[in-house]
Every structure is written in structure tokens, then in C-alpha cells.
Structure 1
């Protein structure tokens, strides 16, 4: 139980600092008691700052927040609301700590002026709204008088957010909130003035779209007489939900957000996003922009969360100890490229009169949706169940899907009712598909066909075909008492922010070029408690590859944020680092590329793609490697380490010459040999020179006579085996992973057996700490057997390499701290901000407000 004295001490210390609180009690309490209260307060502040999500904070931040008190007006009722909803103690404690961390990195509320900007990075469909609702409650307890929530660009998400905040904030304290918006209406000018509202004893709450018409009305209201005087003292919190959407990259919305914040000398702006690609590409030198210069907080991945890596897998990254790529669950089914034209119009001219076909893959997806929903019912999961069909942003295309889908539903009802052979096809489908992701993997018992069949007819009969777009009157609505079973056809309104309740199946053939657009389209990410084995996704092979690459980039970006927190980097320093991430350089052909700086410090790069059917291309790489090894072997002693031949202290000129001659496949975007050569030159001429010397390692395969021997400048090397991934319609080979974990430290004077016991980061640290190798690069050469076969002869994911010539793969290891400042200028980076918003009619969406035209 917290004493009344401590509550009084802490309240004053939060506002004015611990020394001021001590001075205030001087003479009224013994010095020992005052010291005890101060220590208790400082311990509470320290506890809030420890043990929660990792935060990158500005150096000027002053710790002040000691947590919500037992008498908190807004947080305690919200906490009890979650308890009533059945939240476990662990889950509630995690939310409490995570939201405490966000609040703790806002400015001390008593400061006469502050304009703080932060960013909270969560996961798609993972509870960001619950986090910022908790932050709102806790800052309302600290006397923030106005809360503006910028909630995406679509009506559906705004209404969904309004409904949640009404239930979790306003209805729990109806006498203490004054709402400026409602579930039905976005912001329109109230009958009362802003100065009167801000002078009342209530906190203001507005949930508004990022829409120019709406924001102009809000600006106009804040410009009324007296409002500016009231805002001088009022603490204002602006929550930017989906902060990467519209806020950063649009001329309509960004200036209006800036203008609103400009009227508020005591404001805290916190962006929430699962896709921070656009936010971290804001130029942090622009003082008035929305860059999160005060803090960047990385929310932990919730237990039971299905992210892109669980579904699509990801490639190996530098922080992985295993050195092996990760495969996702077998939940993805391919849509052949040749059928895409049957599912969506390929050109604008094809849109009028377009009639979609129910292809075999679409029919399979819909049938599985019904089977999986019936299985959910058999497991006692009686909540909503949804299928997403996302092929086009064109509203006419959405409408064209209605009748074919209704016809399919009528035919399914007839089949199920008739039984016999027709129903056996459904059984075969269930038996075939359900075993591909075993329920036992998630601690569940597999549902039998008999259990599924008992619910199947009812599920199909109850299914509604719903068109969901920003013009549609027929929208997804989960608010009624009856649980929804819906096949939702839509575009952008379904692809960002809006929660699709009980999502089971996604049929997704739409393309998108921007990283954040792709990731936000992943409505299938989230929690699937009780039916983890049932979700499925249908998409083209190109989209599968894009999501897998995105999964890798996202994982590495989050790892970078965590790493720089550990290195005590500031948000501005992180901006530079993430902006220059080599893996983000993937849009050379976009034509709308953005200049940036690139650093390779601390990076391990490797080839994974090869033109395995181009004999001339392969031969040029082999000849470049032969010339390198021949030159190096003439002037350097050869060191043998197990299956590795090592040459030390090789001049950088030899490496640069090799990189001029060696060809990298165009999809190996992180291995830009031109940029690497520039970076090597830059490092040699820096204040603390490095990369003047290199190690060259040649990795051999087993000497068992089963692989071909490759002549590398007189060095006879047994080839390594690297089979290629099984992919349809690809003219290049993808081996996924070339290097093993220990290969990044092959030149350390340590036996390979000892290196294998170390973690990836320990290998990196050990090499960087070496007096010589800490300044040297490492080039690793791998002759690959052209006939490489999968280790598992029954592999369903690998095929023989089947190259027409010996293949040479390379790995390049750069020394140094990944946070170092030496960078070289590149001409393009991956985040194409002009393509972040690709919604049909985006100008109309951002400029006109269909909810609240005044």
C-alpha cells in the first residue's frame, strides 16, 4: 500500500523534480523521512525505465514518470476494464509496463513549453491501439487536457478507433471527457469555442481522419479568438495511428498536422506504426517535421503473434546464431501468374465490363474458408469468421465479384445438401489440406471430418458476400449480436488498419511496390488463438518472395533499433543508420529513387542469386576468381584451417580489382560492388583508416570424390554443395543461404571447432576486437558444384542446382561497428515514398470527407 505522503511527494516531483519536492517538505518532515520518500520516488522512476520495451531516447530527456498511482482517475478504470474482459495478469502487466515506457519518455508535464515527437513501432494487428489507449489514460492522469487521435485515412478505421476509445475511455469516465467526434461523425465545428472547451474541467477527445477537409476544420476551430491563449497552458497529446500513412509523404496532410502542432506550445506527438520505413526516412535535420527526435520505442512481439516470418519465413540475418534461414508454416498456396488476368484487369482499359473468373485456386480458397470456419465451430470458436479477397483497388472490379461469388455459394449449398460424391470432394479437400499444418504443432487436437461436416452447411448458408471500399454502403460490420461469416472483397479499406475479425483465408494477387504498403496489406498477421493451424493465404509467387524479403528487412530493422538502444544512440543517429541500410537499396529501377548514404560497417554480405543457365556469365566469375587466387597465392603464404585455405594481409587493391570483375545478379541488391569499392576507398582515407588489408578465404567442400574439383589459379578445390529453392518460372537460381555462421570469422587465429561454439554477435565482437583483423575486411570464396542436389532427396522445397558451369559464390565481411559515421553516397534507396500511397482516388480520399461534410 502506497502512503499518502509518498503520493503527495511523487505528484509534486513529477511536476517540478525531486529536489523541488524535497525542498517543499523541508521543515515539515524530518530529513530522514524526506530522503526516504525521495529514494522511494527515484526507485519508482528507475523501475519504470527498466524491464520494458527497448527505447532509443534523446540525450536531453529528463526522467520524471514514476508510474500511475493507486488513485489514478483514468488508468485504473481502464485497467479494471481489461480485467473484466478476462485479461491475464501477465498480459495486463506487459501492457502496463509498455505504456509506462512510452509515457516515461514524454517531457515533464510542468515544463512551460515542449514540443516532443516520438515513434512507437509495433506489429501489424498486434495491439497498438490498446497501447496508445493506455498512454492516453496515463497522460490524462498527468493533466493533459486535449487528445487528438489521427486515425488513418478511411472512415472504417476512424469509426473502429472511435468506438474503442468511447468504450475504454469516455464511458468509464463520462463526466471527465468531452468528445469532439462520434462514431457517426468526424470533426465538424462544435457549437462551443475552443477556448471555452479548453478552459473547462474536462479533457477533450477527438478521433479524426487524416483528411484535408477534416483537418482544415480543426485548424479553423483552433484559430478562433481566445483559442491560442488557452493552448499556451493546455497540454495536448496527438496520437498518429498508422503514422507512416499520409502524415509523412503527402503535401495535403503533413502541412496541416504541422500547423495544428504549431498552435500547441505544450504538445507531445506520438506516431504509432508497424511499418516505420517512411518515418525513418524523414530528414531529421528538418526541425519542423515529424521525425521522432525525442524517442523511438520498439514494442515487444506479443506471445502467440503470427507475423510475416511465421508465415513466409525469412532469410538469415547477422544476429541469427544458427546461420540458417527460417521457413514459415506451410500456409501459403500459389496463384499461377497466367491466371492473374482472369482475376483482375491488367490494364485500365480492361476495367469497364470486367468479369472475374472463379479460377481453380479461388474456388479452393473459398472452399477451404468454409471448411476451416466449420472446424472453428466444431472447436467451440463461435466468433466472427472472415475471408479476404484482395485483387484490385478498382471499385468496379469489387462489384463484378458479387454475382460469381453468390453463384458459387449457391452451388456449394446444393453440393452439401445432396451429399454423395460431391460431398466426398469436400472431405478429400479437408483431409488433404488439414495435415499440411498439423493442429498438434500448436498443442491442439486435429478436428475430424465428421466434426467439420456437422457445421458445414450452416456456415455456407450464413456466409455473406460483402464489398468493402470507401464508396460502398455495404461494409463489414461486426457490431451486431449475430456472429459474422463473410467473404469480403475490397481494396485499400481492407488492406490497412482495419481489423478483419476472425480472418481465416486471404486471396491476394494485388501488387504493391512500397515496403510499408506490402506489410500493411498483411491483414492475416495477428492472433489466431484456437485456430492457429487453419489460416491460409493464396498469392502469386512474386508476392510470396516479396513478403519473405520484407520479413527479413523488417526483422533486421527491428534488430537495429534494439541494437542502437543498447549502444545509447540517439534517435537522430538511428535515422542515419536505418536510412543507409544496404538491404533497403532495392529500387534501382523505380525511377523515383531517393539519394542516401550507405555504410557497410559491421555487415556480412553474401550472394544468393545466380544466372545458373548463363555459361558466359558464370565463366567470367570463375575467371575473375582464378586471377584473384593466382595473384594472391604468388605473394602470400597459404594457411590451412580444416577445409579452408586462407591468405592474410592482402592489399585492398586486389579486392577492388576482383569486385570490378565479379558479376552480381541484379536481385542481390545488398551486394552492390560499385558501392563497396567506393566504401573501401573511403575507409582507407578516413581519420582512422581501415580496409587497407584483407583476408581471402577459399572454402572447400568434402573430399569424398562426389563433387567436382574446381581449379582456382592452381589451387584445386572440391566444390561445396548448395541446391536451389524450388520456384516456378524463374530463370535464375536462389540458394537462399551461402555462408555459415562461423564464416564471418574464418581469419581469426582460432580453430573452427571453437568458433562454432560462439554466437554470431560474439564472433563479430571477437573479430572487431582483434588489433589487426578489427580493421581488415574478409572475402570468402565458395566454388559451388554445378550439380548440387538437396540433402534430402525427397525435399519439397529444393531442386538440384543444375547449372551449366561451375558457380562461384562470395561472402564479404566488413569490420567495425554498424553505427559508425563513415558512409558513401548512394543514388537510390528502397523506400519509394511516392508509391507509399497507391489507393485509387487517393486525392479524393484525402481532400473530401464523406462522414462530416459541413
Structure 2
């Protein structure tokens, strides 16, 4: 009977293509369809009008890949059009800014439940970028949800009063003020939540307004809210609620007070959707999905990167991921300046015992960063466009006493500089600094016009007159206030400036704060965001180790987002896959308490490339690797089935070398300690396991890739190639013998043992061709590298390698496995082992929790 009914319904839908609904019903009656069946068809059609599935979904993971009910704004809407009007007045362009916001917020709303469903408890996560407009996005989501019938809106706005007040003010301006008759507010800018008398006045059927409540994640406040909602339970059955958790990784995850209270609030709301917003979702993605918690079991969605946004990758560059052409991965802008380790102890106490009585020195790097900030502010006044504020951030410690110790030396430097502007030595130094910095980042490359020193110099007295030194921390009364005219400020602070709050017009940062986790590090980056009118001018002073950590973090972010996108295309859900997070030898992914339910995720070597990009430059280490390479080439010469000499290309190829020659090489060759993915023991174990279990990887092709124009380098008496050039990234570290070349192996090299013209093939096409032609053969490539390796003049972020001996780099390409693959562990993820899914209806069954 079900198939027969479905056929009748399909006939009705076909009739609707030609006739209005009333006529389509008459046609069914003419076909002899009974009244009862026609009534069922009409009911299904009415249901389908609120569950339309024709919408281009976001790059998201959706429970059961469910259809959506929300297809975008309608003419009758009031809240979303009001936001659009405000954005236009603020100078937002229709294309692409407003259109992109419209699309991304529609995508999030499309993942929520229809507000008229009897009950629901949705849990999702939206992953944005630091300082990228997440507040504007969730405000838009709230507006669209309000336009469709959601009534109660609770925004959890971080843990500090400043962010709560800022969020309340923005939501009041963009949601309440344009439509005051549509909204009631439980909180105001000046005051967090206080229980209101008579809940019926807010939630009773006679009140049609939407209710806005903006609270900070504070146990006392949330407890009052939870208790008040419990008392109002008689009125909440018909109250669809949307809970927005801003900075959802902070305080929400694995906290004994805040986390249960959020769950208590949700338990009092029969129809609720919880949506976390964060740019550092690591902790949220590691929640135990089988527990009664806030794991994003229904959806995870990436917000698109906004045009013109300065993010981790833009500033610091990143490393190539599997499947990428390394030549297409950028090094980032030349905006990072090095703070020597000797300077750190002069601007930050080395231990708690040193805090009392500590006073920082104005080191050369700190003075240079401050003077550059004043020059930037003057140049922006010449340009007279963009953000009217200009801020510098100094962040060296979390301790408020350390922050306060900066006030006297900074004010002294400000006063002395203002009094010495006529000094020819100072003016000459400022001119040299400005000319050097503007040469390193040409304004024209970022769509700006260079400001000459002679143009900005007249503005300097006014800049110094207006400049304020502000200690912004939890114990200070003097705070950044952008509401009362243009601000020029050097802000010294810690946690109050490290999350959520926007430092308007941030131009220069001096950052040497010690951190230990990805999310903390990422949120400290207040320099991320938009730099309209001064895209060429931002600079960051930090240690080289911190810069490397940010480069690694950019790689983690990109890989994480790619995981989300890839799994969506494979029709997975947050309950059937866990996003992998690449680990780092010196950093935690997040706080230990937030990782207690995580498991080590496996990343197979199968179908992957492994390459060295970290090297030591001291002679003994390098000589050992040269010997290992020469021993491998000698073994390959004796045991290869065929040897191909390509002197015109600077290459040799040894085909079908026994695997033990490769494992012997791996036991002798030393990978750098900072390369956990290049673990010789893991790689050797992987090879031996595939040989034993799958009779694969018994034979290897060994190639030597050099430069025919380079200085000859002998690997044996009969095998010699020209040395290649691989300059290092221009950073210094605590280890004088450390070098990072960023990328070693090109896409073309991964096809060195494939016949025919492979130059135009993509990375994936090469791997597919390898799988077809060499399904069980591994490839090992040796790269003899010139010890000097001077970079070309166009590579501004590179420096000579300057090794004590020539360097031998190694690349490995593994074929795809034919069966269950052994793996190497280098990621962590959420543990999905306790999750049970009913395949028939995609219901979510969690251990200890009903569907």
C-alpha cells in the first residue's frame, strides 16, 4: 500500500507542474483516487512545503544528510532586512560581502530544526576564523530564525564583562532597535541577567515578541537563568529557543560548573537548538559524543573565509598537505619580525619569583615596534580612510602586575620621543625604519598607495599627543573605549585582550607570551582580522619559535577544515566520523582536561607522500646522512633490476630495489626531531607490516633528483648529480643548527618513475596513475642540496641555507593499500566507539540517552 500511495503522490506532484493544487485534486478524483487517499496526499504536500530540500548545502556534516526546511529570506521578513540596511549604511558592498553573509547564515539556519516541531534538541558547531565577523554571522542567523518563528534567543558571550557588554550592544543595535516592537530584552548593556517577575509576560501566548538574553559564562549568572527558566516551564512548551555559544571552546567544554549549567538550561527548553561559534574548535571536536554533553552531533559547518581577511595562513604561511602542489603553498606576507630570545627575559619575568619588583626594559625590538606603530598611525592619517582607530598590542605575560610595570617606561618613551622630534638623529632613525619596512611589503601589492616619510612626518606630533598608554586587564579601571572618538593607544594586557574583544585598528603587535595549546595560541592572535585601508602596514614582533608554531597551526587549521569538507562529500555525520587534529611535539591541542576523552587517530602512510623539510646544519649530523645516502645508492646499484641514467635532467633512477635496502637506509638516516611524521621506526614498521601482511612494498624505486646546472656531488664512483638549491625560511631559533626549507618535493618528483609526459598531471592524477601502474611499489627520492643555497632576490622570506656540509633530503611516496592498512599515529580525534546509530531512520542513540 505504501508503494501505491507513493505512486499516487508522485502523480499529484507531476500534476502540480501544470495545474494549481485545487485542479490537481480534481484530476486525482477523475482518476478514481479515493477521498481518504487524497486527504493523505494533501497532508503530505503541506508538510513538504515546510521541508524543502532544494538548497545548496554548506560544507557541513549533517545528521542523516537531512533535508532542510529553510531556503532563505522571504519578502515578509523584518529582522534580516533590517540588518542588511544597517550593513549597507556601514559601507558593506552588495557583492560579495552581503551576499556571502546571506548565504553563510542561510546555510546555518537550514541546519536547525523547524520551530514548529513538537520537540528537538539540536547541537551544532560553526567554525569561523579569528576576528572574521562571527558575531555578524550569528546575529544574522538569529535574525533569520526570528523571522521564521524562533522566540527565545540566549547568547553566551564569553567569560568577561567587556565581551558581554560589547555583544549586548551590537545585538541591541542590529536586532532590537530597528524593530523595537518585535523584541523584549532580559538583559541590558549595563547589567547581566537578573530574574524577571511574571514569566508569562515574556513567554505567554499573548506576547508575540522575541526574547533576547545575553549572558556571560559565569556560574552564578547561569544558575539564576536555569532556575528562572525552570520556574517558567509552564510557558516554554511552545517556545522554540536558539542558544548561541560565542567562543564555544572557552569555559563550555570540560568545566565542572559551566558545562552542566548549559545542559540544565537546555533541559528546561523542550524545543532548543544549541549552536557553538568558535575559531578554535579543537576542544569541541574532542568532546565524548556518547555522553550527555555538547558534542556537535547534528552538524559541523565551516564558515567561508571572508575576502580581505588576515588569517594565520596569510601572515605565517603553512606547510603543504597531502595531495597539494607544494609550489602553490605560499610563505605568507613578510610582516613577522623576530624578537631575539635574549630580549624575552627583559620584557617578561622568567619565573613567578621574579614578578615582584619587575620592570621591563625598552629593548631595541620593543622600541622599534613602538616607533613603527607611531609611523603607521601617522601614515594612516595621511590616507584618511578605513578604521579611524589605531591600536598597538603588547602581550608578554598573563600577570597583571607585569602589565602594570610597563606603564612607567612606556610613558617615559612616549614623552621623550615627543620632546625629541626635532632631533636629527631620531628623525633619521625613523626615516630609515619607515623606508625599510615599506620596502619589505610594497603597498601596491596589497592595493594601497605608499606614503612617503615626508608626507607622514607632519602628522607625528599629533599622533604622539593623542597616544595613550593603557593597561587593560582584569584589575585595571582604564580600559580601551572606542565609543568616544578616534583612539590612538598602546594597550598592554593579557586575557581580557586575548579573546573575543576586537582591538580596533590594530596595526602592530609585540607578542612573546608563552602558551602551551593550539586554541590558546590562536585566540591570542588579536592581529587577525580585516585591515581596510592599511593592508600593507600591520607588523608582528615575536620569537621565531612562536612564528613556527603559528605556521604549524595554519597547517592544522587547513587540514581540519579540509577534513570537514571531505567527510561531507562522503555522506558522513559527526557521529560516524571524527575530525582529525594533527599533533605537535611542543604544543597540546587543547587543555588536558578537554582532551581526556580523545583517542589517538590513525593516519595511514598508504597513498601519501612523506618528505623532510626540517634539517640540522651541523657537520656531524649531515655527514651521517650523506653516508646513509651513499650506502643506499651503492646497494641500489648492486641490486636494482634496471638503472636509468638521465644526466640531462640531473637524475638517476634505480628500479625494483629490495625493500631491505630502504629499511637499512631508514635505520641509518637521521630525521629531525621536530618532524614527528618522519619517524624512521614508524615508517620502517609500516613497510615491514605491509610486506608481511599484503606482500606489498617488497620492491622500491630509488631516484636521485639533482640540478644539472649545480655543482657535481658524488654518491658513488659512478653516480654523480648536480646539487640543488633549497634556501631556508629566514628565521633564527634557539638552535643555531636548525633550518626549515618548508617544501622539498615537487609534484613532478612524485612521478619520476612513471613513463610518459606527467608534467601536466595533478597530484591526484599522479597518485591514481601510480596506483594503476605500480600498485605495490614504493618510491624513495634522494635530494642532494647545496650547503650554501642562496635564495633568489625575489624570495624575501628566504635566507641562505649555510649548512656546514651538503644536505641530503628524502622524499617517500607510498602506494595505496589493497586491503586493511597498517597505520602511523600522529593525530587525535573524538572517540566515536560509544556511539550507536540506527541505520534505518538515522536516529541518534547515545549510550545512556534516548533518541
TM-score (norm 1): 0.85
C-alpha separation in 2, matches of 1:168 and 1:355: 44
Alignment-derived partner of residue 784 in structure 1: 785
Alignment-derived partner of residue 580 in structure 2: 578
Secondary structure of 2:64's partner? coil
1:112 corresponds to 2:131: no
Higher mean C-alpha deviation, range 275-284 or range 719-728? 719-728
Alpha carbons 1:386, 1:504 under 8 Å: kept: yes
Closer/same/farther in 2, CA of residues 59 and 631 from structure 1, 3 Å limit: farther
C-alpha separation in 2, matches of 1:411 and 1:649: 73
Alignment-derived partner of residue 762 in structure 1: 765
Deviations 1:161-194 (A, max 9, x none): 1111111111122222222222122223223338
Alpha carbons 1:652, 1:691 under 8 Å: kept: no
Q: CA deviation at 1:54?
A: 1.9
C-alpha separation in 2, matches of 1:238 and 1:493: 24
What is the aligned residue count?
Answer: 790
C-alpha separation in 2, matches of 1:43 and 1:409: 63
- Where structure 2 has 5 or more consecutive residues not aligned to the other structure, the ranges are 1-12, 29-40, 831-851
Alpha carbons 1:587, 1:830 under 8 Å: kept: no
Q: CA deviation at 1:798?
A: 4.3
Secondary structure of 1:676's partner? helix
Closer/same/farther in 2, CA of residues 544 and 113 from structure 1, 3 Å limit: same
Q: CA deviation at 1:345?
A: 0.8
Q: CA deviation at 1:604?
A: 1.9
Alpha carbons 1:48, 1:97 under 8 Å: kept: no
Alpha carbons 1:599, 1:823 under 8 Å: kept: no
Q: CA deviation at 1:455?
A: 1.8
Alignment-derived partner of residue 338 in structure 1: 342
Alpha carbons 1:157, 1:497 under 8 Å: kept: yes
Secondary structure of 2:314's partner? helix
Alignment-derived partner of residue 279 in structure 1: 284
Q: CA deviation at 1:281?
A: 2.3
Alignment-derived partner of residue 608 in structure 1: 613
Closer/same/farther in 2, CA of residues 77 and 705 from structure 1, 3 Å limit: closer
C-alpha separation in 1, matches of 2:820 and 2:197: 54
C-alpha separation in 2, matches of 1:767 and 1:303: 37
C-alpha separation in 1, matches of 2:521 and 2:829: 13
Aligned partner (choices 79, 83, 90) of residue 85 of structure 1:
90
Secondary structure of 1:596's partner? strand
Alignment-derived partner of residue 774 in structure 2: 773
1:506 corresponds to 2:509: yes
Q: CA deviation at 1:220?
A: 2.0
Aligned partner (choices 86, 110, 130) of residue 124 of structure 1:
130
Aligned partner (choices 555, 560, 564) of residue 561 of structure 1:
564
Closer/same/farther in 2, CA of residues 756 and 424 from structure 1, 3 Å limit: same
Alignment-derived partner of residue 220 in structure 2: 213
C-alpha separation in 1, matches of 2:817 and 2:153: 41
Alignment-derived partner of residue 203 in structure 1: 210
Alignment-derived partner of residue 69 in structure 2: 64
Closer/same/farther in 2, CA of residues 419 and 654 from structure 1, 3 Å limit: closer
1:410 corresponds to 2:415: yes
Q: CA deviation at 1:301?
A: 1.4
C-alpha separation in 2, matches of 1:758 and 1:827: 29
C-alpha separation in 2, matches of 1:454 and 1:625: 62
Alpha carbons 2:390, 2:489 under 8 Å: kept: yes
Q: CA RMSD in A?
A: 3.5
Higher mean C-alpha deviation, range 361-370 or range 38-47? 38-47
Secondary structure of 2:716's partner? strand
Secondary structure of 2:301's partner? strand
Aligned partner (choices 546, 552, 560) of residue 549 of structure 1:
552
Aligned partner (choices 155, 170, 179) of residue 149 of structure 1:
155
Alpha carbons 2:253, 2:283 under 8 Å: kept: yes
Alignment-derived partner of residue 527 in structure 2: 524
Alpha carbons 1:697, 1:746 under 8 Å: kept: no
C-alpha separation in 2, matches of 1:639 and 1:259: 71
1:474 corresponds to 2:481: no
Secondary structure of 1:239's partner? strand
Aligned partner (choices 227, 232, 243) of residue 238 of structure 1:
243
Alignment-derived partner of residue 10 in structure 1: none
Secondary structure of 2:217's partner? coil
Alpha carbons 2:655, 2:701 under 8 Å: kept: yes
Deviations 1:650-677 (A, max 9, x none): 5655544543443221101222233334
Secondary structure of 1:740's partner? coil
Q: CA deviation at 1:266?
A: 2.1
Alignment-derived partner of residue 812 in structure 1: 812
C-alpha separation in 1, matches of 2:21 and 2:82: 35
Q: How does 1:415-454 map to 2 (within 5 A)?
A: 415-416=420-421, 418=422, 420-454=424-458
Deviations 1:254-275 (A, max 9, x none): 2222332233332211111112
Q: CA deviation at 1:744?
A: 2.7
1:746 corresponds to 2:732: no
Secondary structure of 2:420's partner? helix
Alignment-derived partner of residue 327 in structure 1: 331
Alignment-derived partner of residue 394 in structure 1: 399
Q: CA deviation at 1:457?
A: 1.0
